[in-house]
Structures are given as structure tokens and as C-alpha cells.
Structure 1
Amino acid sequence: MTKIPVTVLVLTKAKPGMEERVRNEILGVVQRALQEPTCIHIYLHQDVKDRTNFMLYENWTDKEDFINVQMKSPHLQDYLKRCKEFLVDLPEISLWEMRYKEEGADVNHTISAIKNF
């Protein structure tokens, strides 16, 4: 079976005054996810104008693994159960497949470089 890489965008909004807790909760999940062999990288961003908005930008080597394994992982499921305490709503998660890459770009080299960064 061919592995299809996937980019994952996660948008979430902290309840007012809960920004630091949201950051720490997300980083806890991220640290576990970064240990997974199909995880290339995960970047956490915070909106410069509205500090309650957070975005995760993730790249994974295998879309099916992300859907069937990562999304069902105990640490993520635990986070999703607890997030009502500190988030306005459940995170919005979207999956994206690459449709264009720069001619001559070596995706495997890029993945290796990112993992070693």
C-alpha cells in the first residue's frame, strides 16, 4: 500500500484567560506525537492579534496512519475529552494533500532535513 503524505491544520480557540494552559496542553500532545515514526514535524502558532487563537501545522508521512492510528491515540482522545475545560469549542481539524511541488524538489531529502533540524 502506497503511503500518502498529509498536512494537517488544527485551529483552536482558548477561553479568555486560558491561553497559557492551552499552550501547555497542546505542547503535551505535540511532544507525544513527535515520537511517532510517521510524524515529520508539528509547529504551534499563536495569532498575533487575538492571542486566544492557536494553529497547529503538521506534516505526516502517511495519511491513513494519521486517521486510523494517531487520531485514535489515547493521549489525543484524553486531550479532546478535557479540552472543553479550556477551549471555546472542539478543535477544527482539516487534512490536506499536496497537489503541486516545486520541480526538482526532493521530498525525501526535505523530510530528512526537517527531522534533523
Structure 2
Amino acid sequence: MNNKLKPVTVVINCVIRHDKLKIAKQELYKVIGIVLLKEKACKGIHVHEDPENPNELLIIEQWKNKEIFVGAHMRTQHMIDFLKLAEAFLEKEATFTFWNEIPLDKLNPVI
């Protein structure tokens, strides 16, 4: 199967400006609610904060495939609007990495 069509985990790392953390979390809460309601290709979103630096957030999203995430999802109006808002609270540009799960039987074919 083409890697672009496999289920994908998207890992987003972002650093929020110290004086903008509250608004960043509010806006994340709003957009995540919209994504989970409207985008059936999204299988889940989890937000984590660094206990040493609460202004650093790690967002882990599961999607049907990478093509949907980088294509249709990023072109939705709610994402366009959110990304514009995020410019005001991000310390630096967020990083995105894409991961494919390795099924257990592929780790140890003897199972």
C-alpha cells in the first residue's frame, strides 16, 4: 500500500508565547472540536504539555491518511482561520512530522 494512503499519526510540536498560552489553548479547544465533529477522516487528537515548559505543546493526531491531512484538512475554512490566528500566539513555526504505525506482527513475525 502507498505510504500516503496508510493511516498516519501526525505529531505537531509548537512553542507558545508566554503571554499567549491561555488564548492558544482556547483556540486549540475550539478548532479541535470542529475537526472532530466535521472531519470523519480524523480518528483522534490529543494535546500534551511539557511539564518542564508548559508553553511547549505536543499535539498528536490520527488520520485516515497523510493525503487527507495535508490536502483537504488543511484547506478547510476552520483550519485556514486557525492557522492565521496561530501566527499571533506561536513563538516560532510549528513542526509537523508524519508516522506510520508498525503492527506488532511486523515487529516480531513469530507471533
Normalised-by-shorter TM-score class = 0.7 to 0.9
- 1:91-106 to structure 2, matched below 5 A, reads 91-98=94-101, 100-103=102-105
Q: 1:31 aligns with which of 16, 30, 33?
A: 33
Equivalent in the alignment of 2:69 = 66
**RMSD value, Cα:** 1.9
Per the normalisation by structure 1, the TM-score is 0.79
1-structure distance, mates of 2:27, 2:92: 15
Tell me how many residue pairs correspond in the alignment.
103
Per the normalisation by structure 2, the TM-score is 0.83
Residue 90 of structure 1 and its aligned partner are, at CA, apart by 2.4
Code of the aligned partner of 1:42: I
CA contact (8 A) 1:8 1:59 kept: yes
Q: 2:54 aligns with which of 36, 51, 57?
A: 51
Residue 22 of structure 1 and its aligned partner are, at CA, apart by 1.1
Secondary structure class of the residue paired with 2:69:
helix
| Structure 2: runs of 5+ lacking an equivalent | 107-111
Runs of 4+ in 1 over 2 A off after TM superposition: none
2-structure distance, mates of 1:55, 1:40: 17
1-structure distance, mates of 2:97, 2:76: 17
2-structure distance, mates of 1:51, 1:17: 12
Residues 53-101 of structure 1: CA deviation (Å, up to 9, x unaligned)? 0110011112211121001111111111121211112221121122x21
2-structure distance, mates of 1:74, 1:24: 18
| Structure 1: runs of 5+ lacking an equivalent | 105-117
More strand by share: 2
